[in-house]
Amino acid sequence: MITRIRDVRKARGLTLADVAAACVPPTTAQTIGRLETGMRTVSIDWLERIAAAMDVASSTLVTMPDRPDVPVAAIIGFNGADAPERARTLVPPAPQGDLIGLVVDAAQGDYRTGDELWAQRLAPAHFGRAINRDVLAPRPAGRFAFGRLIAVDGSRIQLLPTTPGARQQVLAEVPWIAVVTTLVRRV
């Protein structure tokens, strides 16, 4: 079985230690590294544990014949664009789990007009996983709050809005939040 654990981990901005700590039960970064490189055989159990730790479908972690993978043509770095040292592919975004979409109508912070955001819903027990990430939180009367999650204190969360100069928002009894996982920007 050809795995894509490393590609997906890097695309999600996670370290080996992040994935190892998020596994249930936790494991070591060295073990995750061995599974990524093929030095250790990846069983279905390991595949499911790692997928759960990265909040992706387990099928995302393996090469699938019916899924079009996007080949990486160049790596853009400090010295410009260079060919990758080894063949790499990108995992195209695919709806999975409890995703919701957001559309940016007016530029705010890092987001431009026309951006599409994919966000993964989290239950209150998992709010801590979204610290320092942009989230959407429901408010009464069909309204929402959007901003950087800066603190979780029991049933209260604190958001820093993306607009410059805006004041911090404190929300209580939030039933769920949705953490932004994917930005789709047309150029």
- Residues 16-30 pLDDT 10s: 999 999 999 999 999
Of the given ranges (38-47, 64-73, 157-166, 176-185), which has the lowest mean pLDDT? 64-73
**Right CATH for 99-184 from 2.60.40.1120, 3.40.640.10, 2.10.109.10, 3.30.1600.10:** 2.10.109.10
What per-residue confidence (pLDDT) applies to 110? 87
Percentage of the residues of the chain whose pLDDT score is greater than 90: 37
Q: Where in the chain is the domain with CATH 2.10.109.10?
A: 99-184
What per-residue confidence (pLDDT) applies to 64? 65
What per-residue confidence (pLDDT) applies to 134? 93
pLDDT at 151 over 90: yes
According to DSSP H, which parts of the chain are helical? Answer: 5-11, 16-22, 29-37, 44-54
Using pLDDT thresholds of 50, 70 and 90, give the confidence band for residue 1.
low
pTM reported for the whole predicted model? 0.58
Of 186, 179, 187, 183, nearest to 159 by C-alpha is 179
What per-residue confidence (pLDDT) applies to 94? 62
Mean pLDDT value of segment 30-45:
89
Q: Where in the chain is the domain with CATH 1.10.260.40?
A: 5-90
Across the chain, mean pLDDT equals 86
What per-residue confidence (pLDDT) applies to 157? 95
Give 53-102 pLDDT, tens digit per residue: 998 888 788 876 666 667 778 888 888 788 888 777 776 666 666 788 88
Compute the distance between CA of residue 45 and CA of residue 137 in angstroms, rounded to an integer. Answer: 33
Please give the CATH topology (third level) of the domain spanning 5-90: 434 Repressor (Amino-terminal Domain) (1.10.260)
Mean pLDDT value of segment 143-164:
90
What per-residue confidence (pLDDT) applies to 8? 86
The two tokens of residue 104 are: 């940016």
Give 89-106 pLDDT, tens digit per residue: 776 666 666 788 889 988
